[in-house]
Amino acid sequence: MEKKVYSIDGKELRTITLDDKVFDLPVNEDVIYYAINNELANKRVGTACTKDRSEVHGSNAKPYRQKGTGNARRGDKKSPITRGGGVIFGPKPRDYSFALPKKVKRLAMKFILSQKAQDDRLTIVEDFTVESGKTKDLAAILKNFIKDEYRTVIVLKDDDAMIKRAGNNIPTISFLSYNRLRAHDLFYGQKIIMLESAAKNLSDFYKEAE
């Protein structure tokens, strides 16, 4: 697949050849769903907890006598039908995470990248950084490629602390390194801006993983 490479001013510089096995695959939405579901499940804390009637603090005595009152017979004040009583089938702490094969995860990333490239939502930009670490300097670059309200993912060639610092105050921007992609962020990003070196490294990274 051929993609244009742009300067930080938004001008076309050259074309780059992207690996078709990464950026031009037929998309399988089922695999993408499994990868996103896995990421969200692994992030769940699972600390929700309720008390059943055996854990509620209170007396075991009957609230009133068995017969003669006209009320339904009841065992104690901790009954689930009583205010302040136990909870029936309430949640308990649990682990929601589950394992997903590495091949499935990698395949999901390829499908998402292919989908973005085919929908023309992937833009390749020459390598740049924001040495000042200022938000206004990064915003001046991004305005050439995206609208302010677009949810955007910037794929970096490495862990660039200064460009991440510059983007901290822009709520619609998230950063990912080419070798630590997240399916959820990529899939829901309306625009993907990828540095030229990151695009080249991605092809090699997934070739080595096969």
Distance, in Å, from the CA atom of 95 to the CA atom of 75, rounded to the nearest integer, reads: 34
* Regions in the chain scoring below 70 on pLDDT: 208-210
- CATH assignment of the domain containing 109: 3.40.1370.10
In whole angstroms, what separates CA 50 from the centre of its chain? 29
Q: What percent of the chain has pLDDT over 70?
A: 99
Domain with 181, as residue range(s), is 2-42+102-209
**Does any domain span residue 173?**
yes
**Does any domain span residue 123?**
yes
Cα-flanking dihedrals φ and ψ of residue 172, to 5°? Answer: -90, 0
pLDDT, one tens digit per residue, over 35-44 is 999 999 999 9
pLDDT, one tens digit per residue, over 108-151 is 999 999 999 999 899 999 988 888 889 999 989 888 888 777 88
CA–CA distances in Å: residue 141 to residues 13, 18, 80, 134: 16, 24, 60, 12
What pLDDT shows up at residue 97? 94
What angle (nearest 5°) sits at the alpha carbon of residue 171, between those of residues 168 and 173?
75
Q: How many helices (H) and strands (E) does the chain have?
A: 7, 6
What pLDDT shows up at residue 209? 56
**Does any domain span residue 185?**
yes
**Does any domain span residue 28?**
yes
**Does any domain span residue 11?**
yes
| Number of domains the chain contains | 1
117 and 18 in contact (C-beta within 8 Å)? yes
Q: Of 122, 150, 124, 154, give the one whose Cα is nearest residue 138.
A: 154
**Does any domain span residue 201?**
yes
**Does any domain span residue 118?**
yes
**Does any domain span residue 158?**
yes
Distance, in Å, from the CA atom of 207 to the CA atom of 141, rounded to the nearest integer, reads: 31
